[in-house]
Structure 1
């Protein structure tokens, strides 16, 4: 998948990487945790969540009392009630140090560009977690570098700077979820398909679109999409 790999060399005595994992599937969460620990003694699991809200409370809204400062977050993209891309963006807007790697059981092409724009350092299929490439990517992301330069993923600092460089006037107060939905419409998805992918109702999808249109001062979805394209807020 064009992953930029580095020879990590011999591990220093006492060297370790604390990793946080977010996956709404408890079995997958345990599998990822087990595989990472088995494949590299330097990797420690700092925390694991099945609920995105817990992760956001750790990383965005204020650390939980038992929070461990992690160097890398392994983030499933198919979550309940919120997309992993939205979680990534919220974390990156707040944090300029932690590396973020997305994982998915679905086709990666539908996520790759949006995840890169949201501030992650790489994207892997869940099957690739079994490979040495993924463990190597954890080390690369922990060092703050991009684990997949070929697909447009930036380093931690570059990704943080890019998100903060977008003028606030360009956003017009539009939320990350509203932009995500407009972007999906721009790529030709239907309301039902968008709701299915994001695990939300069609009514909620349309509500997000209406709110975005109001913020942009337009009445039609196509006009909102056109403006967001012009401002380079969405792709498609």
Structure 2
């Protein structure tokens, strides 16, 4: 994907010193980036790593690997990010799914969505998933400003008079809503539900996963129960609902 970037300030000059967090912190803020486009991932990492007061500690190229890196940071085996920037539309686990799973556990790390499309297309879904904002990937100036705002503890506007939740507000709301069903499913159960939602049949799924058809049926049965529905058709409908938020 070709990404045309805008790095100029409002007066038309390039200035990497603008839009930096105003806190008196001496060490750089640690940024994590998740994007399944390796070219874009590299461009974003290079840009943010050059900003004063910021350093990119880890990157991931899928929602699942982003979750894994986040959990490693909790165990001290990977750096703990002060802010996560994530793509929205990714194969497998989307950035929205990844965000809702992290936010259910985390009440302090801001998560900023980034998209190649009009951010307003995803604003409502980003809010529901617990994100603190969403920006266009190619607008690097807005990305930099948004990161600085969030690291200063302020909230980003969603539309006129409406702001995205803070991490604490989003965490509290998701706790009230209940544990996301996605967290309950195993990797194999998630994979089966992804295939079923694409209209695939049990024998084809079994061949792709290199398991028996009866094993696929077991995964479907478990996923159906965990999703709180009564049959395969309802499970697929519920899976499509929660994965599209």
Q: Give the shorter-chain TM-score range.
A: 0.5 to 0.7
| Number of the residue aligned with 1:203 | 200
Q: Is the 8 A contact 1:89 1:118 kept in 2?
A: yes
Shift of 1:16: 1.9
How many corresponding residue pairs? 194
Q: Go from structure 1 to structure 2 and tell me whether the alpha carbon gap of 1:85 and 1:176 turns closer, same or farther (over 3 Å shift).
A: farther
Q: Is the 8 A contact 1:144 1:157 kept in 2?
A: no
Greater than 3 Å deviation, 4+ residue runs: 7-13, 60-66, 149-152, 174-178, 210-214, 216-221, 233-236
- Is 1:137 matched with 2:113? no
Q: Go from structure 1 to structure 2 and tell me whether the alpha carbon gap of 1:10 and 1:119 turns closer, same or farther (over 3 Å shift).
A: closer
- 1:144-159 aligned at under 5 Å gives the runs 144-150=153-159, 151-159=162-170
* Cα RMSD, aligned residues only: 3.8
Q: CA–CA distance in 1 between the matches of 2:71 and 2:144?
A: 26
Deviations 1:102-123 (A, max 9, x none): 0011233332111111111000
- 1:39-50 aligned at under 5 Å gives the runs 40-50=51-61
| Number of the residue aligned with 1:33 | 45
Q: Is the 8 A contact 1:72 1:142 kept in 2?
A: yes
- 1:1-236 aligned at under 5 Å gives the runs 12=24, 14-38=26-50, 40-60=51-71, 63=74, 66-128=77-139, 130-131=140-141, 133-150=142-159, 151-167=162-178, 174-175=181-182, 201-203=198-200, 211=224, 215-217=228-230
Shift of 1:25: 1.1
Q: Is the 8 A contact 1:15 1:42 kept in 2?
A: yes
SS in 2 for 1:137: helix
TM-score w.r.t. the length of structure 1 is 0.66
TM-score w.r.t. the length of structure 2 is 0.64
Q: Is the 8 A contact 1:116 1:152 kept in 2?
A: no
Q: CA–CA distance in 1 between the matches of 2:35 and 2:228?
A: 33
Unaligned regions of 5+ residues in structure 2, if any? 1-18, 186-193, 202-219
Q: CA–CA distance in 1 between the matches of 2:40 and 2:244?
A: 31
Unaligned regions of 5+ residues in structure 1, if any? 1-6, 179-194
Q: Go from structure 1 to structure 2 and tell me whether the alpha carbon gap of 1:53 and 1:65 turns closer, same or farther (over 3 Å shift).
A: farther
Larger radius of gyration: 2
Deviations 1:190-215 (A, max 9, x none): xxxxx8xx9x73339xx79x948972
Q: CA–CA distance in 1 between the matches of 2:25 and 2:243?
A: 45
Q: CA–CA distance in 2 between the matches of 1:127 and 1:96?
A: 28
Q: Go from structure 1 to structure 2 and tell me whether the alpha carbon gap of 1:53 and 1:163 turns closer, same or farther (over 3 Å shift).
A: same
